[in-house]
Structure 1
Amino acid sequence: MPNYADMLLRHEESSGFIKARRAPLGFTDGRDEAWLRDLLADNPDVLPIEEIDPSFAPLAPLCTELETEAGPVDAAFINPSGRLTLVECKLWRNPEARRKVIAQILDYARAIAQWDYADLQRRVASASGDKANRPFEAARQLQTDLDEAVFVDATARALREGRFLLLIAGDGIREGVSGMTDLISRNAALGFSFGLVEVALYQFGEQGLAVQPRVIAKTHTIERTFVVMQGPNGAVLQEGEGDADQPSQSRPTEDEVAWWEPLTRIAFNDPEQEPPVYRPRNHVRVAMPSTGMWVTAFRAMSHGICGVFLGGRKPERLEVLDALNEEREQILSELPEGTHQGMDGTEERPGFAIYAQLDDFASDEACRAWLSEQLNRFVNAFRPRLKRVEKR
């Protein structure tokens, strides 16, 4: 993490320099979270969007306190391509507050991803008091020749695909940054980008206040896709990395969401294990304590199979498998009988997966119970080992 030197202001009359005093955000001088929210909403150009993800620039302010089903977003912006930027302002106090704001902004993104353009226009009008087509009018301020029909279609598509930039802006967000960004990546179910922005304030005596937003961390947009592979024992699923520029999977139905919901509430033997997170349309993911790694449970109705396997982003997965396979026999003895290398592994670098036929289960509840049991076994086997791998 970079450290920043003192900031100096050259005094023209004396030809000398005035050294700035760092002025932390807080409740003194009225510089609270609402003050920071309004500062950013009124001055969107200070947000370093080009450095985080240029596809969301430039920013046109929509409103503050954009009400969603998950609560109000501090500040919302849009660009002429119809892509939304959501900003949550936070003055850090403790690790619990950090986890809470991450959960908040993820919930906001998931809620807004269920909207169409009319929903967005109505919610923005309610928050701003402007009953005009504010998203379009705001974007047209930045691009005067913007076509309304094209903009509305692009915005609706971005909403449907979850193409958002999520920003957490605040003070003192350097400690624990790697864990925060990993938590975001592991729990993401949409095609968004994410950034942490530290807003540094410097007081130059009576000369005024300088505001310097800095990018502390950012993520790349990574989507996961399932590819059906035909193997010697029938069709199985391989999880691969999708292209962020490719269309995302279609929106899940209410029945699909309801089918997976009980699995997001299961309790593991390991008290530190976070619950599974639903990822449209056909699986849940369990975060592992190793960057870029997780355990996935899936159900593929069209091919009549379900299963659980250890997955991850390719570079990290390959390195982790090399470490795990050093004790493969011991791991297999702890996993369910029938665990094999899966379609994601090779003879040289085998993976860990178990599959079952959907016809083997008398009911949906029986299928979910089986998936829950396998997930728990996989967590018991891999979580302590991946903790050690992460510390190497």
Structure 2
Amino acid sequence: MTTFNELLGTKPGDTESAVKQRYKLLSTRVHPDKGGSKALMQLVRHSYDNIIKGRGENLLSIPASASVSQGGALERELVKIKKERDELTALNQLLKVQLNQAQKGKSIGANANANANANAAAGADFSRKIAQLEGELVLIKEERNRLINQKDSAIAEQHKLAGELRRALSDNEVMETELDRKLGVKMPGLLVWAQKFWLPAMAMSSLVVVLALSVKMLDWSFVTEWFSDAPPDAAPPKVRVVHAKPSQKEVLVEEREAPDTQGSDTASRNLPFLKLTQRTGVWALASYTESDKPYIAIRSENGSYIVNDCSGDFRLYLNEPLKPLRVAANLIYQHQNQHFHVYKIPYGQGSSPESWLQSRKLKINEEFFTSKSFKTSRVALIGQCNNLINVKK
């Protein structure tokens, strides 16, 4: 009897890809459009299904799903195939007898027949390997097309993400990046001079401090005038430009700064002096040197400060060597303190806690101040201010 492997031309140890290639080869030969028949096509398909399921050595049987007419056609095809097989078997037997007779007379002819049979077997194996390689080549091409599609999809996704990232950048961040790149931080001439000649500057500063402590008063305006190129005018009193209606506090400032006036020491002590620091770009909690009242401040690279205390006002302590000819419209001059020109910020950028909390960096009078640690410092300031109120009660 014939098995499924014998019908399909496969072996029990063949892989699934080899069985599939053999099935494709026989399907093209027995297909009705190629000169075959529908019954043979169904028989080949039935054999392929059984081999895939591991029943290749089972005897050939008619598919149970075939109809009566199809079953009869298959039976007829099987009878025809069996008849052809019997004829081929008889012919093979006849050829074997003739081969034996030829072997007795001519050994050379026998060797030639053996070589021919070996060549035929080798040719069959070679054809089988070629069919298997062709099938693998088709699979490789399909895998290559799949990888190309994945690569195109990944490139398109990358372009999409890059576009979304560019759109996510706000105009404010782009503007700040451009300003930082173009402007940078400009060091004033005095600081450049001090950086190059720091040793003489330190000696001179120490001398000024010693002289100031000897009279129990440290006049910062005198220190800044020491480094100034132009000689100070000592005779006429200082004249201040007030940008708003002067208050009682401002009148006291004018009286303190006028030379040779009575009670100037007392007025100077009433002004809150900052505790200077070298740390820049971070808000920190501190207290005035004269009154120990708390405040929070941030120092710029140029030595200026933004200060906020229990009064709730924000003030710019502008480093005196950096005083410009014109200031921003939202800055109102108040007085001079230490070596700073003090301006109140009643409105605009930097005038409220919300403006600092909503921005990473603010530009005030051509200087940049960050909002790093502002929230925590502000909470600590409010706590100390409440403690002071409770102590007074």
More helix by share: 2
- Normalising by structure 1, report the TM-score: 0.20
More strand by share: 1
> Which structure has the bigger radius of gyration?
2
- Normalising by structure 2, report the TM-score: 0.20
